Amino acid sequence: MEILSLAFLSSLATIVFIDLILAGDNAIVIGLAARNLPHHQQKSAVIWGTIGAVGIRAVATILVVYLLDIPWLLMVGGILLLWIAYKLLVDENSHENIKPGQTLWASIRTIIIADAAMGLDNVIAVAGAAHGNYLLVILGLIISIPIVVWGSTLFIKVINRFPWIVYLGSGVLAYTAAKMITHEPKIEHFFQSSPLFKWSFMVLVIILIIVAGLWKNNLRLRMIANKKNRQGSSP
């Protein structure tokens, strides 16, 4: 994959978008961990905590890129990423277990540890989108660092205002997952023999994930509405 080629730039754009769409948790963790610090220390906690977290994530992502060369792991990673794409649509994440740090270093430590525990989705998604290209991983992280540090909170507000962005993000994750599955060396010949079959499979995967998310969210909204109705009708 040549630098500045269309394939390289599209993969880089996909990685940056994945980092953005999955950055919501990062912003929440950063805010919770640093909220008890004096204002002048909060910026330092955000910057150094994020740098530490991204450093660990970079190493983990490169390791996963390497591991995906092992037979069948590319397919396993793709299936796991499909679950992550679905969870992105239906999960109502709780962060009550994130305790604020009382000192600068305690807050930085909290940010790094929490991000490492929660960053599996990002690591798998970026590794899959990189297609074995370590330069893509590094460039994607370099571009994403300032966005995550200074722009993730703003991006959360944008998502809250335009919920369809989450479905777009889930579609991108589903596309990346389907691409991982179709590139699994053990079964790749099935898809390479018929481009129509390959693209039909990828489109079907994307549609199934988004429809499943819509169905689950509508079901949850109906349950909430029924619960409110029962509470309103009770004496």
Query: What are 83-100's pLDDT values in tens digits?
Result: 988 988 886 655 555 566
**Token duo for residue 5:** 């080629």
CB atoms within 10 A of CB 20: 20
Which pLDDT score is estimated for 149? Answer: 64
Residue 77: pLDDT above 70?
yes
In the structure, what pLDDT confidence band is assigned to residue 206 with cuts at 50, 70 and 90? very high
More confident residue, 48 or 175: 175
Amino acid, single-letter form, for residue 174: A
Which pLDDT score is estimated for 141? Answer: 77
Q: Quick check: helix, strand or coil at residue 37?
A: coil
Which pLDDT score is estimated for 215? Answer: 93
Question: What's the pTM value of the predicted model, to 2 decimals?
Answer: 0.78
Question: Distance from first CA to last CA of the chain, Å, rounded?
Answer: 68
Query: Between the CA of residue 128 and those of 52, 131, 142, what are the distances in Å?
Result: 23, 6, 18
Cβ–Cβ < 8 Å for 194, 70: no
**Mean pLDDT of the 205-229 span:** 89
How far does CA 53 lie from the centroid of its chain? 15
CB atoms within 10 A of CB 99: 13
DSSP at 1: -
Residue 116: pLDDT above 60?
yes
Which one, of 17, 24, 7, lies nearest residue 172 by Cα? Answer: 17
Rounded CA separation 187/94 (Å): 38
DSSP at 150: I
Cβ–Cβ < 8 Å for 37, 101: yes
Rounded CA separation 9/2 (Å): 9
The 10s digit of each residue's pLDDT in 42-75 is 778 877 887 787 788 788 888 888 888 888 998 9
Beta-carbon contacts of 166 under 8 Å, excluding residues fewer than 6 positions away, are 21, 88, 89, 159
